[in-house]
């Protein structure tokens, strides 16, 4: 029996918004499509995590043209229209709040670390409202205040595209994450405002100059919710040893991404990737960060998962692979959920 998993990133709201699972798509119906729904979460010991609002390009929007599918987003994406972004983010966030209301107590949108602990003990699925890219937030930060009051507790300043605040890393391989300019003045104001409110900043899609700008400004732990090790897989999306050292220094953490292309040394989108390779990344992260600063950040419904896992029901197989590598029960519990609660407690308390 493995500990409940609290997870750093999923894109399930997007699949429900785009109705990739059909017109009746619901979080409560077991689907063979995608990676995550409530019945499969229960089966896989998934106790909750960060539910991302990621605004798709207008060509992917249900009313904006032919949906191109999550797996086909461009390697170098362009910026989005602010009004479209706000409208879409409100639509996606409403799916999470409606799911909570319809769940009859089975799903809770959490705003404190105490609420996460209560949910994990009680068997209620704990969902953090997270924005993956700040396109829906105006440079005056009015929308930030409103979304915070609604429940926003985590924000990636960028996805892998430019916006008013910073520039994201494109999906390049092999590549350094040093791909463009750092934060704009509005981006620096956004960091200060998130510190003041106690909104966690997620660095996973930020380019390297932006990463160092945040590191110099923020008073919170540095966190990358769904990124892997650049030394093992030289994707622009992964973290260099210098970045890992800064994350450790800040007492932050990294969540392991399950995307095969961010894990394999060849960067190939090959689903025939053994779970032992994921344990190699976890070993490296533990060696560089310490056992208290490593967690899981699946990227369910937003990436190519290895066949050996399949979907959220296969997640315990990764914990089994950790046990086989010699991790004891206390270490597996930290990676499964305790480290996320520790870092969120520290980050949210300061707000
Ligand atoms: Zn992502």
SS (H, E, C) 108-137: EECCCHHHHHHHHHHCCEEEEEEEECCCCC
Cα of 218 to ligand 1 centre, how many Å?
Answer: 21
- CA dist 213 and 52 (Å) reads 23
- CA dist 54 and 334 (Å) reads 28
Cα of 107 to ligand 1 centre, how many Å?
Answer: 23
CA distances from 166 to 67, 139, 324 (A): 27, 11, 41
List residues bridging with 256 in a β-sheet: 296
For the chain, what is the HEC assignment?
A: CCCCEEEEEECHHHHHHCCCCCCCCCCCCCCCCCCCCHHHHHHHCEEEEEEEECCCCHHHCCCCCCCCCHHHCCCCCCCCCHHHHHHHHHHHHHHHHHHHHHCCCCEEECCCHHHHHHHHHHCCEEEEEEEECCCCCCCCCHHHHHHHHHCEEEEECCCCCECCCCEECCCCCCCCCCCCCCCCHHHHHHHHHHHHHCCEEECCCECHHHHHHHHHHCCCCCEECCCCECCCCCCCCCECHHHHHHHHHCCCEEEECCCHHHCCCCCCCCCCCCHHHHHHHHHHHHHHHCHHHEEECCCECCCCCCCCCCCHHHHHHHHHHHHHCCCCHHHHHHHHHHHHHHHHHHHHHCC
Query: So what's the pLDDT on residue 65?
Result: 40
Cα of 204 to ligand 1 centre, how many Å?
Answer: 7
Query: So what's the pLDDT on residue 37?
Result: 97
pLDDT at residue 149 is higher than 60: yes
Average pLDDT of the residues in 199-224: 98
Please provide the average confidence, as pLDDT, over all residues in the chain. Answer: 94
pLDDT at residue 350 is higher than 70: no
Query: So what's the pLDDT on residue 316?
Result: 97
Q: How confident is the model at residue 23 (pLDDT cuts 50, 70, 90)?
A: confident
pLDDT tens-place string over residues 306-341: 999 999 999 999 999 999 999 999 999 999 999 999
pLDDT tens-place string over residues 164-192: 999 999 999 999 999 999 999 999 999 99
Cα of 28 to ligand 1 centre, how many Å?
Answer: 24
CA distances from 145 to 43, 81, 112, 141, 311 (A): 37, 20, 17, 7, 35
Instruction: Give the least confident one: 24-28, 150-154, 158-162.
Output: 24-28
* Percentage, residues of the chain above pLDDT 70: 95
Cα of 219 to ligand 1 centre, how many Å?
Answer: 24
Cα of 244 to ligand 1 centre, how many Å?
Answer: 18
Q: How confident is the model at residue 68 (pLDDT cuts 50, 70, 90)?
A: very low
Query: So what's the pLDDT on residue 74?
Result: 53
Cα of 159 to ligand 1 centre, how many Å?
Answer: 7
Cα of 277 to ligand 1 centre, how many Å?
Answer: 20
Cα of 317 to ligand 1 centre, how many Å?
Answer: 23
Closest CA to 27 of 125, 148, 147, 121: 125
Cα of 324 to ligand 1 centre, how many Å?
Answer: 29
Query: So what's the pLDDT on residue 351?
Result: 55
Cα of 42 to ligand 1 centre, how many Å?
Answer: 23
Average pLDDT of the residues in 265-277: 97
Cα of 193 to ligand 1 centre, how many Å?
Answer: 22
Cα of 188 to ligand 1 centre, how many Å?
Answer: 21
Half-sphere exposure of 112 (CA within 13 A, CB side): 4
Cα of 226 to ligand 1 centre, how many Å?
Answer: 7
pLDDT at residue 57 is higher than 70: yes
Cα of 160 to ligand 1 centre, how many Å?
Answer: 8
* Percentage, residues of the chain above pLDDT 90: 89
pLDDT at residue 77 is higher than 90: no
Q: How confident is the model at residue 153 (pLDDT cuts 50, 70, 90)?
A: very high
Average pLDDT of the residues in 291-318: 97
Cα of 227 to ligand 1 centre, how many Å?
Answer: 8
């Amino acid at each position: 029996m493995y500990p409940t998993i609290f997870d750093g990133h999923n894109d399930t709201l997007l699949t429900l918004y785009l109705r990739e699972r059909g017109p009746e798509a619901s979080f409560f119906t077991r689907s063979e499509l995608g990676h995550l729904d409530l019945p499969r979460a229960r089966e896989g010991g998934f106790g909750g995590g960060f539910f991302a609002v990621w605004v798709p390009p207008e060509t992917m929007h249900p009313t904006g043209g032919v949906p191109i599918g999550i797996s086909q987003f461009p390697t170098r994406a362009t910026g989005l229209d602010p009004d479209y972004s706000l409208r879409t983010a409100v639509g996606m966030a409403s799916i999470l709040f409606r799911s909570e209301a319809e769940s009859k107590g089975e799903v809770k949108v959490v705003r404190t670390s105490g609420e996460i602990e209560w949910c994990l003990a009680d068997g209620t699925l704990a969902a953090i409202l997270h924005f993956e890219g700040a396109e829906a937030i105006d440079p005056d930060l009015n929308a930030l205040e409103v979304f915070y009051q609604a429940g926003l507790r985590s924000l990636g300043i960028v996805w892998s595209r430019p916006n008013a605040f910073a520039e994201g890393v494109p999906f390049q391989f092999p590549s350094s994450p040093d791909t463009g300019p750092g934060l704009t003045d509005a981006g620096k104001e956004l960091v200060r405002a998130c510190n003041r409110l106690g909104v966690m900043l997620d660095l996973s899609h930020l380019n390297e100059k932006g990463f160092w700008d945040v590191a110099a400004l923020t008073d919170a732990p540095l966190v990358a919710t769904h990124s892997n090790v650049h030394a093992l897989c030289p994707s622009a999306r992964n973290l260099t040893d210098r970045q890992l050292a800064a994350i450790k220094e800040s007492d932050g953490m990294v969540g392991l991404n399950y995307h095969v292309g961010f894990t394999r040394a060849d960067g190939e989108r090959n689903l025939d990737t053994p779970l032992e390779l994921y344990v190699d990344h976890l070993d490296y992260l533990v060696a560089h960060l310490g056992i208290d600063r490593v967690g899981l950040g699946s990227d369910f419904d937003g990436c190519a998962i290895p066949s050996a896992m399949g979907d959220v029901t296969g997640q315990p197989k990764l914990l089994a692979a950790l046990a086989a590598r010699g991790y004891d029960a206390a270490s597996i519990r930290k990676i499964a959920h305790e480290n996320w609660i520790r870092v969120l407690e520290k980050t949210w308390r300061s707000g």
